[in-house]
Each structure stands twice: as C-alpha cells, then as structure tokens.
Amino acid sequence: MERFILYNKESTRIENNFRIYTGLTHNGKCLHCGGDFKSRSILAKYCSQRCKNDVSINRRRERILKKKQEFKKCIVCSTEITQKKHSKIIKYCSNKCKQLNYRKHIKII
C-alpha cells in the first residue's frame, strides 16, 4: 500500500486552496522552484506553502550559521570556542564565564 503524504507541493498549491477560480488573475513564477502558478495577488512569490516554508527554513539556517561565525571567542575571556554544527549558539567558554557576565549585568535594587 502506498503512503499518502499530506504535506506535499501539489496539495499546498495556491490554485487548489480556492473553490472559485475566477479571482486568480495573476500568473507568476515561483522564486524557489521556478514553477508557474496563478494567484489573486501580484505580490505572491511562491507557488505553494511548501516552497514558502522551504525558503523560510533556509533563511533561518543561514542566519544561525552567520551568528555562529560571529561568536568564535568567549565574550568574557576571549578564549577560542568551537561551535558545534547542530547545537545552539555558544557564547561562553564555561559556566564560570557565563556567571561572571550575568553578575556584571545584573542590577541590585
């Protein structure tokens, strides 16, 4: 038996989301995959929600990689830090530096 994929490109196309096709006057070209699509808005950039999400995921990945390039040294002691590929952005070399930075910025009332 063949598996049905709910989130595929064809099921999320703009043309398939509207029951009445009379308002789809704009013909566009998808910026992600290059496919043709119809839309009501001239501002539409993508042919489906899948393409829109893929672009968003790629932008987020690039933004995180750029941030990881900025933090190559510890903020407090300037020790070299190795950023792991699939983890959050590391700003401190140890918990000690993290605590020192926290205490430096905390305001005593």
Q: pLDDT tens, 13-23?
A: 666 555 555 56
More confident residue, 90 or 10: 90
pLDDT tens-digit map of 38-83:
888 888 899 888 889 999 999 998 998 888 888 889 989 989 988 8
Range in 4-18, 32-46, 82-96 with the lowest mean pLDDT: 4-18
The answer to whether residues 92 and 101 touch, using CB atoms and an 8 Å cutoff, is: yes
For residue 91, what are the CA distances in angstroms to 51, 78, 96?
33, 10, 12
